Amino acid sequence: MGLAACAGILFADWLIAWPAWLWLAIVLPAAWLFHSKQSLPAGWLLCAAVFAFVHYTCDRDPLREQLTSVIKPGGAVSAVVTGVIQDQPEPDATGTGFTFPLRIESLQCARLPQARQDGEVYVRVRDFPVVLHYGDRIRLTGLLRRSEPPRNPGEFDFVNFLRRQGFSAEFESGGNYDHINLLMRDAGNPVIAAAQRSRQWIGDAVTLEIRDDPNIAATIRAMVLGTREKTPQEVEDAFVASGAMHVFAVSGLHIAMFGVILWTVLRALRIPRSITTLIILPTVFYYVFITGLRPSAWRAAVMCSMVMLGIPGDRKTSLLNSLGAAALLLLSSDTQQLFQPGFTLSFGVLLAIAVLYGTFRRLMEKVYAADPFLPRQLYSPGLKARLAAWDWTANSLAVSIASTIGSALLMIHYFSLVTPVGIVANLFLVFLSLCILVIACAALTAAAVKFAIVQASFNHFNVLLASFSVWLAKVFAAMPLGHIRCDASRLFRGDLCELTVLQLDGGGAAVHLDTPEGKHWLIDAGGLRHYLRTVRPHLSRTPVHELDGLVLSHRDTYHSGAAGNVRSTFRPQNEPELFAGMELYPDKDVRIRCLFPPRGYEAVLADNNCRVFLIETRRTRILLMNDAGFLTEKALLEGGEDLRADILVKGWHSDDYSGLPEFLNAVLPRAVVFTSAAFPAGELAPQWWKEMAALKGFALFDQSRAGAVVVRMEKDTTTLRGWYDRSMFTIPRPN
352 closest CA partner among 426, 405, 395: 405
* Residue 16, pLDDT score: 63
The reply to whether 273 falls in a domain is yes
pLDDT at 250 over 60: no
Q: Considering its fold, how many domains does the chain have in total?
A: 5
* Residue 62, pLDDT score: 82
The reply to whether 482 falls in a domain is no
Instruction: Indicate whether 9 and 103 sit together in one domain.
Output: no
Instruction: Indicate whether 459 and 506 sit together in one domain.
Output: no
Is the backbone peptide bond immediately before 576 cis, with ω within 30 degrees of 0?
A: no
* Residue 398, pLDDT score: 86
pLDDT at 292 over 70: no
pLDDT per position as a tens digit, 681-723: 777 888 999 999 999 999 999 999 999 999 999 888 899 999 9
Angle at 426 (CA atoms; ends 250, 233), nearest 5 degrees:
60
Work out whether the CA dihedral 229, 234, 235, 236 comes out positive or negative: positive
CB 641 within 8 A of CB 616: no
> What mean pLDDT do residues 109-122 have?
78
Q: What sections of 527-669 are H helices per DSSP?
A: 528-530, 536-541, 557-560, 563-570, 630-639, 661-667
The reply to whether 703 falls in a domain is yes
The reply to whether 423 falls in a domain is yes
d(CA 267, CA 219): 31
225 closest CA partner among 454, 432, 440: 440
Instruction: Indicate whether 719 and 571 sit together in one domain.
Output: yes
pLDDT at 251 over 70: no
The reply to whether 489 falls in a domain is no
Query: What number of other Cβ atoms are within 10 A of residue 19's Cβ?
Result: 9
d(CA 559, CA 612): 14
> Measured between alpha carbons, how far apart are the two ends of the chain, in Å?
59
* Residue 313, pLDDT score: 66
d(CA 433, CA 439): 10
d(CA 492, CA 512): 20
477 pLDDT tier (thresholds 50, 70, 90)? confident
pLDDT per position as a tens digit, 440-460: 888 988 988 888 888 889 989
d(CA 288, CA 588): 57
34 pLDDT tier (thresholds 50, 70, 90)? low
Q: How far is CA 616 from CA 331, 472, 516, 586, 621, in A?
A: 52, 45, 13, 11, 5
| Domain end call among 156, 172, 188 | 188
Angle at 107 (CA atoms; ends 102, 113), nearest 5 degrees:
145
Instruction: Indicate whether 269 and 338 sit together in one domain.
Output: yes
Angle at 39 (CA atoms; ends 36, 45), nearest 5 degrees:
90
CB 460 within 8 A of CB 210: yes
| Domain end call among 18, 40, 59 | 59
With a pLDDT cut of 90, the percent of the chain lying above it is 28
561 pLDDT tier (thresholds 50, 70, 90)? very high
Q: Which of 29-33, 48-52, 710-714 has the lowest mean pLDDT?
A: 29-33
Instruction: Indicate whether 449 and 306 sit together in one domain.
Output: yes
Higher pLDDT: 648 or 112? It is 648
Q: What is the CATH number of the domain that holds 159?
A: 2.40.50.140
Instruction: Indicate whether 507 and 606 sit together in one domain.
Output: yes
d(CA 173, CA 145): 11
pLDDT at 510 over 80: yes
Burial annotation 121-155 (CB, 10 A radius, 16+ → b, else e) = bbbbbbebeeebbbbbbbbbbbbbbbbeebbbbbb
Instruction: Indicate whether 391 and 535 sit together in one domain.
Output: no
d(CA 179, CA 139): 8
The model's pTM is 0.81
24 pLDDT tier (thresholds 50, 70, 90)? low
Instruction: Indicate whether 301 and 326 sit together in one domain.
Output: yes
CB 647 within 8 A of CB 501: no
56 pLDDT tier (thresholds 50, 70, 90)? confident
CA torsion angle 92 98 103 107 (round to 10)? -100
Q: How far is CA 486 from CA 138, 416, 496, in A?
A: 45, 5, 17
pLDDT at 316 over 90: no
d(CA 261, CA 153): 44
> What mean pLDDT do residues 496-500 have?
91
pLDDT at 228 over 60: no
The reply to whether 483 falls in a domain is no
* Residue 240, pLDDT score: 82
With a pLDDT cut of 70, the percent of the chain lying above it is 90
The reply to whether 490 falls in a domain is no
Instruction: Indicate whether 617 and 711 sit together in one domain.
Output: yes
d(CA 89, CA 229): 11
d(CA 52, CA 197): 38
* Residue 19, pLDDT score: 62
pLDDT per position as a tens digit, 511-531: 999 998 889 999 999 999 899
Instruction: Indicate whether 663 and 720 sit together in one domain.
Output: yes
Higher pLDDT: 726 or 50? It is 726
Q: How far is CA 232 from CA 217, 221, 310, 434, 468, in A?
A: 11, 12, 42, 21, 16
Q: What sections of 291-340 are H helices per DSSP?
A: 295-308, 319-333
In angstroms and rounded to an integer, the radius of gyration of the C-alpha atoms of the chain is 30
> What is the extent of the structural domain holding 317?
196-354+418-477
Neighbouring-strand partners of residue 501:
511, 709
Higher pLDDT: 341 or 547? It is 547
- What phi, psi does 354 have (nearest 5°)? -65, -35
d(CA 554, CA 611): 7
pLDDT at 735 over 60: no
Q: Which of 90-94, 354-358, 652-656 has the lowest mean pLDDT?
A: 90-94
pLDDT per position as a tens digit, 171-205: 998 877 778 888 998 888 888 888 888 888 888 88
Q: What sections of 17-132 are H helices per DSSP?
A: 20-37, 40-59, 62-70
d(CA 705, CA 726): 10
| Domain end call among 59, 82, 105 | 59
CB 577 within 8 A of CB 584: no
DSSP 486-549: --GGGTT-TT-EEEEE---GGG---EEEE-TT--EEEE----HHHIIIIIHHHHHHTT-SS-SE
367 pLDDT tier (thresholds 50, 70, 90)? confident
Q: How far is CA 625 from CA 126, 251, 567, in A?
A: 38, 50, 24
Instruction: Indicate whether 47 and 96 sit together in one domain.
Output: no
Name the pairing type of β-strands 717-722 and 709-713. antiparallel
Mean of all residue pLDDT scores within the chain? 84
Instruction: Indicate whether 232 and 367 sit together in one domain.
Output: no
Q: Which of 69-78, 111-120, 472-481, 680-689 has the lowest mean pLDDT?
A: 111-120
538 closest CA partner among 493, 486, 502: 502
Burial annotation 206-226 (CB, 10 A radius, 16+ → b, else e) = bbbebeeeeebbbbbbbbbbb
> What mean pLDDT do residues 260-272 have?
80
Burial class (CB in 10 A: 0-12, 13-18, 19+), 181: exposed
The reply to whether 487 falls in a domain is no
Burial annotation 453-480 (CB, 10 A radius, 16+ → b, else e) = eebbbbbeebbebbeebbebbbebbeee
